[in-house]
Amino acid sequence: MNIAVVGTGYVGLVTGTCFAETGNKVICVDIDEKKVERMKNGEIPIFEPGLDVLFERNTRQGRLSFTTKLDEAIEDAQIIFLALPTPPGEDGSADLSYILGVADKLSFLIKDYKVIVDKSTVPVGTSEKVHNILAKHLDEELFDVVSNPEFLREGVAVDDFMKPDRVVIGTSSSRARDVMKQLYEPFVRQGNPILFMDERSAEMTKYAANSYLATRITFMNEIANLCEKLEANVDMVRIGMGSDSRIGKRFLFPGVGFGGSCFPKDVQALMRTATESEYDFQILDAVLKVNTEQRRLLAKKIKTHFQDDLQGKTIAIWGLAFKPNTDDIREAPAMYIIDELLEAGAKIKAYDPEAMENVQKIYGDKIQFMDDQYEALIGADALAIVTEWTVFRTPSFKVMRELLKEPLVFDGRNLYDLERMQEQGFHYLSIGRNP
Ligand code: UGA
């Protein structure tokens, strides 16, 4: 099939590349000329494991190409994906101006039947808005609008796209349904379902899934906080709970609060939608409040340990990205922790395998960026672990002890065994576990 993908951000680029990999001809279009030029020259604008191999193969074999011209990109396309940003407005609602703007342009360009697919996370009712804008200048026979939310996680996006747990397709048109089924069949060969539903339910499914996952993490963060007070060990509680097949083992890890470009934004947007519908979504309100506190927790623990006086203290930070295997620092808990530590007078020496360049753009020389995780420890009064990169999981404890001024570790991701840390002579504070 011929496919156009409008928007080459995270979702657009992964979507386009993965569809090319299954033999489709994909043209990705973006208004950012520099970015398009870079991609034409073989440069991938995001860090995502595994994407490079597919990107290189599909551009070389002519199935994946890039342009700034919307008209050229859609001319032969049977399907047009909209993978455009929906940034939160001041009131938390999603800003739809990019999506609706492109819909308006398409209404003048489309000449033959096309399926317009919304891949961005958009509020319930958006596909109707897109439909109405297209219908202003187009015969309704010439298009269908489909909602096809994306469930990929940064860091494992290619795998998530290639082997989805499910594909959600919201459409009331049987013609569009057949096109979408054909497109997605190669991705669900193991028997995972393509779930067809109406457009509104598909849009709601995405918000419900992300908000539920954010709630689940937040619930575990609260259980962890209570475990600390009750001298229980949240690792044990997590395994005990997760072994119940109704609960399941995944996504129960307590930590420094959820971050990233999706959960905080989507929980807020769903709250906003609820408010507009005069529904008081109390759980989500609590989720946001608890998460704001949880993001500060590690900094609070550090401040408490040093009796609120961090003047002249240096804190080493391992991990800046909001999670491992990405350079994304949007809503990253590390940023909140750094702000709080700086405000309390601390000096910061930070290391992250991928995200340092992005953090430097914000903090400049307010914090020190180190080339190596151990270098960050030299002369530091304590280490704070914020992101669970694999490279931090089995460090040399001997070297850590030698380099730190004091063997003091605040671990926001529960990477190490409590007994082992005690044997190694560390004062080790983690989340929901007592030393
Ligand atoms: C999330 C969803 O998992 C995807 O399914 C969805 O497609 C995506 O948002 C989106 O809407 O585009 P992502 O933001 O990439 O994906 O990251 P996650 O792996 O879900 O992690 C989100 C946050 O939760 C991170 O800050 C992570 O550290 C935190 N988390 C996750 C925990 O604190 N504990 C856990 O057990 C799991």
- 355-372 pLDDT, tens per residue? 999 999 999 999 999 999
Question: How many CB atoms within 10 Å of residue 423?
Answer: 10
Find out whether 412 is annotated in a ligand binding site.
no
What is the tens place of the pLDDT at every residue in 377-389?
999 999 999 999 9
Sign for the CA dihedral angle at 422, 427, 430, 433 comes to: positive
Among residues 137, 97, 135, 99, the alpha carbon closest in space to that of 117 is found at 99
Among residues 271, 250, 293, 257, the alpha carbon closest in space to that of 156 is found at 250
* Ligand 1 atom nearest to CA at 257: 33
Ligand 1 centroid from CA 326, angstroms: 12
Ligand 1 centroid from CA 261, angstroms: 9
pLDDT at 92 over 80: no
Give the pLDDT of residue 166: 97
Partnered with residue 71 across adjacent β-strands are: none
pLDDT at 8 over 80: yes
Q: Supply the residue whose CA is at minimum distance from atom 30 of ligand 1.
A: 258
**C-beta of 367 in contact with ligand 1 (< 6 A):** no
Give the pLDDT of residue 136: 96
pLDDT band at 73; cut points 50, 70, 90: very high
* Ligand 1 atom nearest to CA at 155: 15
At the fourth CATH level, the homologous superfamily of domain 225-429 is NAD(P)-binding Rossmann-like Domain (3.40.50.720)
pLDDT at 91 over 90: no
Catalytic residue among 18, 28, 227, 262: 262
Q: Is 18 considered catalytic here?
A: no
Give the pLDDT of residue 88: 81
Q: What is the distance between the alpha carbons of residues 68 and 118, in angstroms, rounded to a whole number?
A: 19
CA angle 195, 201, 205 (to 5 degrees): 75
**C-beta of 412 in contact with ligand 1 (< 6 A):** no
pLDDT at 221 over 90: yes
Q: Both tokens of residue 364?
A: 């400049």
Q: Mean pLDDT score of the chain, rounded to an integer?
A: 96
- Percent of the chain's residues with pLDDT above 90: 95
What is the tens place of the pLDDT at every residue in 100-118?
999 999 999 999 999 999 9
- Is 3.40.190.10 the CATH number for 2-197? no
Q: What is the 3-state secondary structure (H, E, C) of 241-273?
A: HHCCCCCCCCCCCCCCCCCCCCHHHHHHHHHHH
Distances, alpha carbon 156 to alpha carbons 6, 49, 165, 326, 407, in Å = 22, 7, 13, 9, 34
Give the pLDDT of residue 334: 98
Residue-range domain boundaries for the chain: 2-197, 225-429
Among residues 411, 408, 404, 410, the alpha carbon closest in space to that of 425 is found at 408
What is the tens place of the pLDDT at every residue in 164-207?
999 999 999 999 999 999 999 999 998 999 999 999 999 999 99
Mean pLDDT of the 117-144 span:
96
Residue with tokens 């011209």: 69
Find out whether 155 is annotated in a ligand binding site.
no
**C-beta of 154 in contact with ligand 1 (< 6 A):** yes
What is the tens place of the pLDDT at every residue in 252-310?
999 999 999 999 999 999 999 999 999 999 999 999 999 999 999 999 999 999 999 99
Q: Supply the residue whose CA is at minimum distance from atom 6 of ligand 1.
A: 151
Contacts of residue 339, defined as CB under 8 A and 6 or more positions apart, other chains included, come to none
